[in-house]
């Protein structure tokens, strides 16, 4: 990371010129259209990276000057203190913030009050529209997503964690409210962070830009050159470049690719040589049987007449069932009683002849 921070050097004069050009554009465009003189436009930095990061990352950026207007309001979610009602918990934390000298947090909502009074969908949407910044006690931050809903996270208004037991609570809350943050995802190489508003002076915006770029480059979890281009823009303005990286590191990358290609080429040549040697050995072994076949072809084999096969006569198989039926019974063999009776009855029926009826003449 140290090399990346040393390689990126902003030209302060170039940044100042870009800020002045943006302020002149905003004054010329919105001076005649705005009804209120206090209407301000947010100013953001657009970072373009050389490559897409592998991991998602959220970076908190402390700024020397407050990038929020005075009309911005802050809401704090706290845990439920034991043996206290939600109203008592609310008064307890208001007193704590007054003792620490914190006056930028007008609304405090205990966790039990959030579950009961802001359970409905419309109540959550109203809460999201009433406040610009949300803070949460670090002890209950993991419990909030299931009660706040997806709209807080879709609009990037999820609560920022703060340790309410810290000895430097005023400094921590000031850095969170006054500063900003940037979300870096692994789905693209561009990311944006709000760092100022149009009502600030040129010097204040310039100092915020320098501090934001320094923090982002130092905390990015990537290796090698990080930033490609940095632009300054508002919501409806053209992006003004304030930093463009040189292409010196591309020569290093090309040299590394050339070395890799040369290594691949040498490996292919070695494999090809090994393959040629194996083919030669196979060729020598294949020549020997060919020579044998040629020698065998020279000697003509003698023709011998083939003997015709003689068919053998089929042998009739004896019918075992008929032989068993015609076989005489043994002398001492006994016949079952039931079977003997059936044979006697059959013999009687066959011996008797049917009698013819003689019709008498009338």
Question: How confident is the model over 316-353, as pLDDT tens digits?
Answer: 665 555 555 555 555 555 555 555 556 666 666 655 55
* pLDDT at 295 (0 to 100): 45
CB 168, CB 153: distance < 8 Å: no
Report whether pLDDT(228) > 80: yes
More confident residue, 166 or 326: 166
With cut-offs at 50, 70 and 90, classify the pLDDT of residue 262: confident
Closest among 322, 2, 18, 6 to 195, alpha carbons compared: 18
Closest among 62, 78, 88, 93 to 136, alpha carbons compared: 78
Upper half-sphere CA count for residue 103 (Cβ side, 13 Å): 2
With cut-offs at 50, 70 and 90, classify the pLDDT of residue 73: confident
**Number of helices and strands in the chain (H, E):** 12, 10
More confident residue, 26 or 226: 26
What is the Cα–Cα distance from 347 to 330, expressed in whole angstroms? Answer: 21
What is the Cα–Cα distance from 247 to 66, expressed in whole angstroms? Answer: 35
Q: Give the range among 132-136, 226-230, 282-286 with minimum mean pLDDT.
A: 282-286
* pLDDT at 2 (0 to 100): 39
What is the Cα–Cα distance from 39 to 44, expressed in whole angstroms? Answer: 17
Mean pLDDT of 212-232: 85
* pLDDT at 35 (0 to 100): 46
Give kind and range of the element (H or E) at residue 170.
helix 169-178
Give kind and range of the element (H or E) at residue 45.
strand 42-49
With cut-offs at 50, 70 and 90, classify the pLDDT of residue 56: confident
User: Can you tell me whether residue 166 is helix, strand or coil?
Assistant: coil
* pLDDT at 296 (0 to 100): 45
Structure tokens at 103: 């006056």
* pLDDT at 6 (0 to 100): 45
* pLDDT at 203 (0 to 100): 92
User: Can you tell me whether residue 9 is helix, strand or coil?
Assistant: coil
Q: Give the range among 157-166, 229-238, 253-262 with minimum mean pLDDT.
A: 253-262
Closest among 260, 215, 192, 153 to 45, alpha carbons compared: 192
């Amino acid at each position: 990371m140290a090399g990346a921070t040393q390689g990126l050097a902003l030209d302060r004069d170039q940044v100042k010129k870009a800020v002045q050009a943006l302020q002149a554009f905003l004054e010329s465009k919105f001076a005649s259209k705005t009804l209120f003189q206090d209407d301000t436009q947010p100013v953001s930095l657009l970072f373009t990276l050389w490559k897409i990061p592998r991991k998602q990352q959220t970076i908190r950026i402390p700024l020397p000057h407050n990038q929020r207007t005075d009309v911005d309001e802050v809401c704090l979610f706290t845990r439920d203190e034991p043996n206290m009602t939600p109203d008592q918990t609310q008064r307890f934390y208001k007193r704590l913030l007054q003792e620490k000298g914190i006056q930028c947090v007008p609304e405090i909502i205990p966790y039990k009050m959030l579950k009961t009074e802001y359970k409905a969908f419309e109540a959550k949407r109203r809460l999201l529209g009433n406040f610009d910044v949300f803070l949460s006690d670090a002890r209950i931050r993991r419990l909030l997503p299931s009660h706040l809903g997806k709209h807080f996270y879709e609009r990037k208004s999820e609560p920022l964690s703060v340790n309410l037991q810290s000895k430097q609570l005023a400094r921590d809350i000031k850095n969170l409210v006054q500063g900003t943050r940037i979300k870096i995802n692994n789905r693209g190489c561009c990311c944006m962070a709000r760092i100022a508003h149009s009502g600030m002076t040129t010097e204040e915006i310039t100092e915020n830009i320098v501090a934001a770029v320094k923090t982002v480059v130092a905390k990015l979890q990537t290796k090698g050159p990080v930033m490609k281009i940095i632009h300054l823009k508002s919501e409806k303005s053209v992006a003004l470049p304030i930093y463009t990286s040189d292409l010196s590191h591309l020569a290093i990358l090309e040299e590394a690719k050339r070395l890799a290609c040369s290594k691949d080429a040498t490996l292919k040549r070695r494999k090809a040589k090994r393959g040629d040697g194996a083919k030669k050995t196979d060729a020598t072994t294949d020549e020997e049987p060919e020579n044998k076949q040629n020698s065998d072809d020279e000697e003509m084999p003698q023709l011998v007449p083939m003997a015709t096969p003689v068919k053998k006569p089929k042998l009739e198989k004896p019918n075992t069932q008929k032989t068993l039926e015609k076989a005489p019974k043994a002398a001492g063999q006994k016949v079952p009683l039931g079977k003997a009776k059936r044979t006697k009855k059959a013999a009687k029926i066959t011996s008797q002849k049917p009698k013819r009826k003689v019709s008498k003449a009338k």
